[in-house]
Amino acid sequence: MTQNDFIPRYRCFSLSDFHDFDHCIFRFFVKHHLGKKYELEEGSPNQALGSLLDLTIKKIHQNKLYHQPIEFLINLVKNSEDHMRGKAQKDGPYSYFGPQIKFLTPELIKKTQSVIQSYIKTLNGNWQPSISDKTFWQEDVLGSDGGLIRLWGGPDLIEMGKDNTPEIIDFKYFEDQERGKGYLDMDLMPKLYFLLTTAELKRLGFNKARFKLRFWQDALDESMYEEFSIDQEESFKSYFKSRAEVILRTTELSFCEKAYCPVCQNPARTDWQKQIKAEFF
Ligand SMILES: [Zn+2]
Section 92-115 average pLDDT: 97
Sheet containing 137-142: give its strands across: 12-13, 148-153, 137-142
Quote the DSSP letter at residue 176.
S
- Beta-strand relationship, 166-172 and 148-153: unpaired
**pLDDT tops 90 at residue 68:** yes
| Cα 226 → chain centroid | 18
pLDDT in tens, 180-195: 988 899 999 999 999 9
Distances (CA, A) of 12 to 39, 143, 159, 222, 241: 18, 12, 27, 31, 11
Alpha helices (runs of H) in the chain, residue ranges in sequence order: 15-23, 25-28, 37-40, 45-62, 70-91, 106-123, 177-182, 188-203, 233-249, 269-280
125 C-alpha to ligand 1 centroid (Å): 45
265 C-alpha to ligand 1 centroid (Å): 7
Question: Percent of the chain scored above 90 by pLDDT?
Answer: 92
20 C-alpha to ligand 1 centroid (Å): 9
Among 220, 30, 28, 228, CA closest to 128:
220
Separation CA 281–CA 278 (nearest Å): 7
89 C-alpha to ligand 1 centroid (Å): 30
pLDDT in tens, 121-178: 999 999 999 999 998 899 999 999 999 999 999 999 999 999 999 999 999 999 888 8
263 C-alpha to ligand 1 centroid (Å): 6
150 C-alpha to ligand 1 centroid (Å): 25
Section 259-263 average pLDDT: 95
Region of 263 please: left (phi>0), alpha (psi -120 to 50) or beta. alpha
Which of residues 203 and 1 earns the better pLDDT score? Answer: 203
49 C-alpha to ligand 1 centroid (Å): 26
pLDDT value of position 3:
45
pLDDT in tens, 210-234: 999 999 999 999 999 999 999 999 9
Distances (CA, A) of 98 to 15, 40, 44, 84, 103: 20, 11, 11, 8, 10
31 C-alpha to ligand 1 centroid (Å): 11
The separation between the first and the last C-alpha atoms of the chain, rounded to the nearest angstrom, is: 29
24 C-alpha to ligand 1 centroid (Å): 5
258 C-alpha to ligand 1 centroid (Å): 6
Give the pTM: 0.94
Section 43-68 average pLDDT: 96
- Please tell me whether residue 268 adopts helix, strand or coil conformation: coil
28 C-alpha to ligand 1 centroid (Å): 8
The pLDDT-based confidence of 4 (bands split at 50, 70, 90) is: low
30 C-alpha to ligand 1 centroid (Å): 10
18 C-alpha to ligand 1 centroid (Å): 14
Cβ atoms 80, 49 nearer than 8 A:
no
Section 192-217 average pLDDT: 97
* Angle, in degrees to the nearest 10, between helices 106-123 and 45-62: 50
Section 190-215 average pLDDT: 97
Section 250-264 average pLDDT: 96
The pLDDT-based confidence of 2 (bands split at 50, 70, 90) is: very low
**pLDDT tops 90 at residue 6:** no
pLDDT value of position 1:
43
| Cα 145 → chain centroid | 28
Section 88-112 average pLDDT: 97
